[in-house]
Amino acid sequence: MLPMLSEFLLTEMNRLGAQDALPLHRQLYEALRRAMLDGKLGAGERLPSSRDLAQDLGLSRNTVVAAINQLSVEGYLASRVGSGTYVNESVPRALPGRATRRPGAPGGNGSVPTGRLSTRGLALSTTFCATELEVQPFTPGIADFSAFPLTLWQRLQNKHWRMTYPDMLDYNDSGGYAPLRRAIADYLRVFRSVQLDADQVIVTTGTQQSLELCARLLADHGDTVWVEDPAYWGAVKAFMATGLAIHPVPVDDEGIHPGTADDAHPPKLIYLTPSHQYPTGAVMSLPRRHQLLSTARAHGAWVLEDDYDSEYRFSGPPISSLEGLDNDGRVFYMGTFSKVLYPGIKLGYLIAPRPLAAAFKQAHYDLNRPGQMPLQAALAEFIEMGHFSSALRRARQNYGERRAALLDALKPVLAPGTEGPFISGAEQGLHLCLRLPATVDDAALAQRIAQQGLTVRPLSAYCLARHDLKGLVIGYGYAPLREIQRCGPVLAAAVRQALGTLPAEH
């Protein structure tokens, strides 16, 4: 690799790591992107091989491949069979004399021009930032979607592009491709006990769009929404963007637990992750579910059920949906395909109560101009042919092995009872929460762990109003098994040192 390019990439990665604490694969992605936009990698220029890049930059090859794959998906790079990977001819260039902006920064100097943003815009751009709070692998950033049948998926997409009719290229006002809506309805009836028919299914670009659609149609500016505390940052952002007043309600071991003090802030919406609370992993008990539905009925509130990772249940019986217990038609159920297929697919679904389904479809069309019909058609066939079920089985097995390895690595730091460290939320999903005593500074601990090349998130960073929760949110879905086996003991040693059970020189 050219020495000047190598030096530029290392300098840029060091700056990004120091400023934004990005995982390594994201640092390399941003550095390579900057090199292309600044012309240090010219249009049509061949990129060094992933092996050479890894050797010159001192990175693992998996980290390099993850960054290159993301740039290829976004169109910055193009692969030529038997030749290599090249900078796409269509990559835009920075104008002469104008510095390329730091990724995510509205201004050219890396700072937010606060005078140009609204109060809401400033809040959205500076609080609960995704790069800080999203659960990523606790090992150096490696996105592992190797089990996904990419060749089959490409073949299905190509098939539907070849046979696409003109109306498949237009916007869609029916809530989505009909066969896909039927497939979603069949799946949810059988596996999640959701009471629905296909007419209630609205295909969205994911949970964020589903939440924003509910907020806009079910509440007015200034209305109150109850959210779990600690909270899923994406929901908080969606409600901030739509002008709602956010009222945090504490979560305990049985899920969200509203009290009389919360009743003084009557909600229009109640947002929940009952099957696997994000981020603590608490599962809402059956009595608490009935209590919540009764509370919603008393306030005349709508319930937004986010079932984001219900496909991955590793122990205990399956948890039925909250919607399946609802006899009043006040629960909106939402899910996504990104946890089973790949995040960039940007397809999810919202199940609206029958009386409101038509209104939601109309508003979805007017506000969002939905499309992607060939992609929806490919997904419908993918499900109907049984490939979705096969992909899910493989993913469950892979993630189950990674979960078991992580739990095994963390055993030395666990304590009996709840006075010392314990794990919550390991029965389901792609992350778990290592709960720590209140005396531990979990943010400082996460920083020390980051210095060893591992990425975890402090539980306290997800809290809105409470200050009693400390812990580490640890993702295992995107870390290969061998990396968990290698890095798990390092993570455990860092936690033991923070607890004072390991000498400082370790």
Query: What does the alpha-carbon distance between residue 279 and residue 176 come to, in Å, rounded to a whole number?
Result: 31
In a domain, 401, yes or no: no
Q: Is the Cα torsion angle 470, 144, 187, 306 positive or negative in sign?
A: positive
Query: Is there a domain that residue 502 lies in?
Result: no
Pairing label, strands 331-336, 348-351: antiparallel
Would you call 214 exposed, middle or buried from its count of C-beta atoms within 10 A (0-12, 13-18, 19+)? buried
Instruction: Classify residue 488: in a domain, yes or no.
Output: no
Both ends of the chain: CA-CA distance in Å? 37
* In a shared domain, residues 73 and 161: no
pLDDT score recorded for residue 140: 40
The pLDDT score that the predictor gives to residue 502 is: 46
Boundary of a domain, candidates 325, 353, 385: 385
Q: Residue with structure tokens 């199940």?
A: 351
Are 284 and 195 within one domain? yes
pLDDT of residue 55: 85
Task: State which residues form the domain around 60.
Answer: 3-111
User: Is there a single domain that holds both residue 80 and residue 223?
Assistant: no
Q: What is d(CA 148, CA 393) in angstroms, rounded to the nearest whole number?
A: 11
Q: What is the pLDDT of residue 503?
A: 45
| Same domain? 277 vs 178 | yes
Q: How many CA atoms lie within 13 A of 357 on its CB side?
A: 21
Burial class for 360, CB neighbours closer than 10 Å (0-12, 13-18, 19+): buried
Question: What residues have CB less than 8 Å from 239, skipping those under 6 apart?
Answer: 211, 215, 225, 227, 246, 269, 271
Same domain, 242 and 341: yes
251 & 324 share domain = yes
Q: What is the pLDDT of residue 348?
A: 95
Q: Is 394 exposed, middle or buried (0-12, 13-18, 19+ CB in 10 A)?
A: middle
Give the containing element (helix H, strand E) for 364. Answer: helix 354-368
Count how many residues are written for the chain.
506
Contact, 198 vs 223, CB < 8 A? no
| 106 shares its domain with 195 | no
Look at residues 385, 406, 429 and tell me which one is the last residue of a structural domain: 385
- 317 in a domain, yes or no? yes
pLDDT of residue 115: 53
One domain, residues 184 and 284: yes
Half-sphere exposure of 375 (CA within 13 A, CB side): 15
**Taking each helix axis from N to C terminus, what angle separates 373-384 and 387-410, rounded to the nearest 10 degrees?**
80
Q: What is the pLDDT of residue 432?
A: 93
320 neighbors 289 (Cβ within 8 angstroms) = no
The predicted structure's pLDDT at residue 240: 92
Q: What is the CATH number of the domain that holds 306?
A: 3.40.640.10
| Cβ atoms 227, 236 nearer than 8 A | yes
298 lies in a domain?
A: yes
Would you call 337 exposed, middle or buried from its count of C-beta atoms within 10 A (0-12, 13-18, 19+)?
Answer: buried
Decide if 475 is inside a domain.
Answer: no
Give every residue of the chain whose pLDDT is below 70, as ranges.
Answer: 1-3, 17-21, 73-74, 81-82, 90-115, 128-137, 139-147, 164, 416-419, 501-506
For residues 200 and 352, give the distance between their C-alpha atoms in angstroms, rounded to a whole number. 5
Start-end of H helices in 147-257: 150-162, 178-191, 207-218, 233-241
Tell me the per-residue pLDDT of 383-424, one tens digit each, with 9 for 90 and over.
999 999 998 888 888 889 999 999 999 999 997 655 679 999
Q: Is 406 within a domain? A: no
> Please, which residues have CB within 8 angstroms of residue 334's CB and are 6 or more apart in sequence?
204, 207, 210, 211, 304, 305, 306, 307, 348, 349, 350, 351
3-state secondary structure of 239: helix
Location of structure tokens 């479809």 = 361
| Same-domain check for residues 33 and 159 | no
- 3-class SS of residue 471: strand
Q: CB-based burial of residue 151 (10 Å sphere; 0-12 exposed, 13-18 middle, 19+ buried)?
A: exposed
**Which of 462, 436, 132, 479 minimizes the C-alpha distance to 273?**
462
- The candidate with the shortest Cα–Cα distance to 232, out of 256, 261, 268, 204, is 256
Total structural domains in the chain? 2
Residue that is last in its domain, among 84, 111, 138: 111
CB contact at 8 A, 176 and 360: no
Within this chain, do residues 90 and 39 fall inside the same structural domain, yes or no?
yes
Instruction: Kindly report the CATH number assigned to the domain that includes residue 59.
Output: 1.10.10.10
Q: How far apart are CA 89 and CA 91, in angstroms?
A: 6
Together in a domain, 241 and 298: yes
Output the pLDDT for position 362: 94
Q: Check the CA dihedral 193-197-198-200 and report its sign.
A: negative
Q: In terms of domains, do 54 and 164 share one?
A: no
Is the CB of residue 371 less than 8 Å from the CB of residue 347? Answer: no
Q: Please indicate, yes or no, if residue 427 is contained in any of the structural domains.
A: no
